[in-house]
Amino acid sequence: MLNFFKKIFSLLKRIITMLFKLFLILAISGTIILLIARLITAIHSSGRVYSVEDAPQDRVAVVFGAGLWRDGTPTPVLRDRVKTAVDLYFQGKVEKLLMSGDNRTPDYDEPSAMKNYAISLGIPEEDIVLDFAGRRTYDTCYRAKEIFGLDSAILVTQEFHLSRALYLCERLGVDSTGVSADQRYYLKRSRFFWNTRETLATATALWDVHITRPLPVLGEFEPIFTEE
C-alpha cells in the first residue's frame, strides 16, 4: 500500500511539473506575441507623430473617445484630446473635428460631451462632426473611411494610443498622421495601467485588421465633405 501511494505521489508530481512547464511556455510565448504586436505598430508609427505646431495640414482631425465622469463630462484624458484638436483647428491645421466615441446607451454620450467642451473652447458648432458609434479604435477608423468618406486625417490621442490608432487607420484606408494629446503629467499608475491595457488591445487590433475584419455598427454614408 505504501508503494502504491508513493507511485501516485510521484505521478502527480510529474504531472504538476509538466503543467507548470507548459504554463511557463505559454506565458512566455504570449508575452513575446504581445510585445511583437506593440513593436510592429511602434515601427509603423515612427516619424508619423507630431506636435501641434509641427503637424502637417489636413482637412479633418479625428478625436478618439476616452471616458466620461458620472456627471457626463469628459475625463482629463478626453479633455486633453479635445483641447489638442481645438489647438490644431485654431492654428489652421484642420477645417473640421470628427468627435468619435461611445453612445451605446442613452446616458453615456461621449461625442456630445466632446462637442460641448470644444464649443466652450470656441469651436463653431458647424465645424464639429459627431460619430456616435466609435466604440473602439477599430470602429472609429473603419467608420472614418466608410461612413464619413475620409481618405486622410490627423489622429488626436495620447502617445501611448497613437501607434495602434495610426496602424488601424492606415490598414483601413485612412492615410494618417498623429498628434500627441499629452498636455499634462499623468500619474505613473495610470500610465502603467494604460500601457498594459494597450499591449492587449494592440494584439487584438492586429487580429481584427488582418484576420477577422469585423464589421462595426455602420449606417448611411455621411461624407464630411461633399464638394468632391
Per residue in 16-68, pLDDT (tens digit) is 878 877 787 777 777 777 788 888 888 888 888 999 999 999 999 999 998 89
Contacts for 166 with CB less than 8 Å, ≥ 6 apart:
41, 44, 45, 48, 49, 155, 176, 177, 178
Give the per-residue SS3 of the chain. CHHHHHHHHHHHHHHHHHHHHHHHHHHHHHHHHHHHHHHHHHHHHCCCEECCCCCCCCCEEEEECCCECCCCCECHHHHHHHHHHHHHHHCCCCCEEEEECECCECCECHHHHHHHHHHHCCCCHHHEEEECECCCHHHHHHHHHHCCCCCEEEEEECHHHHHHHHHHHHHCCCEEEEEECCCCCCCHHHHHHHHHHHHHHHHHHHHHHHHHCCCCCCCCCCCCCCCC
In a domain, 23, yes or no: no
In a domain, 189, yes or no: yes
CATH number at residue 56: 3.40.50.620
The domain total for the chain is: 1
Q: Are 35 and 130 in contact (CB under 8 A)?
A: no
Phi, psi of 128 (to 5 degrees): -115, 130
The pLDDT of 122-137, averaged and rounded, is 95
pTM (two decimals)? 0.85
Per residue in 135-153, pLDDT (tens digit) is 999 999 999 999 999 999 9
* C-alpha closest to that of 82 among 115, 125, 59, 126: 115
> Which region among 77-91, 136-150, 213-227 has the lowest average model confidence (pLDDT)?
213-227
In a domain, 141, yes or no: yes
Is residue 154 over pLDDT 60? yes
In a domain, 194, yes or no: yes
In a domain, 195, yes or no: yes
C-alpha cell at 106: 442613452
Strands lying side by side in the sheet with 60-64? 49-50, 175-180, 152-157, 60-64, 96-100, 128-131
In a domain, 131, yes or no: yes
Handedness of CA 24, 26, 29, 34 (dihedral sign): negative
Q: What is the CA radius of gyration of the chain?
A: 22
Per residue in 190-211, pLDDT (tens digit) is 888 888 889 899 999 999 999 9
What is the pLDDT, as a whole number, of residue 183?
86
Q: Domain of 95?
A: 49-212
In a domain, 190, yes or no: yes
In a domain, 220, yes or no: no
pLDDT band at 5 (very low <50, low <70, confident <90, very high): low
